[in-house]
Amino acid sequence: MKVGLLECDHVRDELLHIAGDYRQMFPALFAKVTGDWQFTFYDVCNGHFPELADECDVYLCTGSKSSVYDDDEWIGRLKQFVGEIYRSGKKYIGICFGHQILAEALGGKVEKSAIGWCVGVHQFHVLVPEPWMDPLSSSFNVLMMCQDQVLEMPEGSTLLAETPDCPVGMFRVGANMLGIQAHPEFPKPYNKALMELRVERIGAQKVEMGIASLELFTDEIVIANWLKNFANFTTANF
């Protein structure tokens, strides 16, 4: 399967030693659950986009320090391309910023959360079990690093999972578009390093709690399996 990674940001130079850039993190995660994914990298935050949605079978859209409502040219272009993916029927999986831009591209709304930052390990509760969620679980723990959240989903969306601090934790649009607010690709040391760099922005108490939460078990392998299954799932009868 040909997988296009839409890179919406890059890891800071001083943190690259932890797990590399996003083009290393995502293949490393999915290599644990499949040997069939061949990645092509698109540095969209620097203007490198696929010519056509048909270039890949599935697109993964990464997180970003940017906000989806910023006026940057590449963000507007990415919204248009996400719309092209939707119309093409190709699969799309958005992670954090990619989850939010899915909402904005198809008519939803994203803003800064009144709750503030979500960092560290959070428990997601599954609201609508679907066939590709195999192995099925009623909840899962995944790392988060976000301030913006999806406040309104696009018309025709299905809300799949939530957390107490993030009501739209995971949602699907149609049979081919999926967004999740969490970061299954992040190793815990990288999440910790980001928290430590952003203490002034996040708040010392929330960072302290976030770092303490890293002691909890995380289910990134379960989520990687789900996302792999979603990418392979051909039945539109959800």
Say if CB 183 and CB 193 are below 8 A apart. no
For position 233, what pLDDT does the model report?
A: 84
SS3 53: helix
Say if CB 228 and CB 29 are below 8 A apart. no
Which element (helix H / strand E) includes 190?
Answer: helix 188-197
| Separation CA 202–CA 115 (nearest Å) | 11
- Sorted by where each begins, the domain ranges of the chain are 2-232
Residues in the chain: 238
Say if CB 144 and CB 122 are below 8 A apart. yes
Which element (helix H / strand E) includes 22?
Answer: helix 22-30
For position 187, what pLDDT does the model report?
A: 98
| Separation CA 92–CA 99 (nearest Å) | 10
pLDDT at 238 over 70: no
Which element (helix H / strand E) includes 175?
Answer: none
pLDDT at 207 over 60: yes
Render pLDDT for 148-168 as a digit per residue (tens, 0 to 9). Answer: 999 999 999 999 999 999 999
- Annotated catalytic residue, options 61, 99, 183, 220: 183
For position 110, what pLDDT does the model report?
A: 98
pLDDT confidence of 213, banded at 50, 70, 90? very high
Q: What are phi and psi of 28, to 5 degrees?
A: -65, -40
pLDDT confidence of 38, banded at 50, 70, 90? very high
Instruction: Using the structure block, give the residue that is written with the tokens 């599954």.
Output: 126
Residue type, 31: A
Render pLDDT for 88-143 as a digit per residue (tens, 0 to 9). Answer: 999 999 999 999 999 999 999 999 999 999 999 999 999 999 999 999 999 999 99
Which element (helix H / strand E) includes 26?
Answer: helix 22-30
What number is the average pLDDT over the span 198-205?
97
| Separation CA 97–CA 30 (nearest Å) | 19
Report strand pairing: 166-173 vs 177-180. antiparallel
- Annotated catalytic residue, options 56, 96, 118, 146: 96
How far is the CA of 80 from the CAs of 4, 14, 47, 154, 195, in angstroms? 16, 33, 13, 15, 32
For position 235, what pLDDT does the model report?
A: 56
pTM listed for this prediction: 0.97
| Separation CA 143–CA 136 (nearest Å) | 19
pLDDT confidence of 31, banded at 50, 70, 90? very high
Query: pLDDT averaged over the chain?
Result: 96
Query: Taking the alpha carbons of 10, 220, 182, 213 in that order, is the dihedral positive or negative?
Result: negative
pLDDT at 70 over 90: yes
Pick among 2.60.120.890, 1.10.20.60, 3.40.50.880, 3.40.190.10: CATH of 2-232? 3.40.50.880
96 is catalytic: yes
pLDDT at 237 over 60: no
Which element (helix H / strand E) includes 88?
Answer: helix 73-88
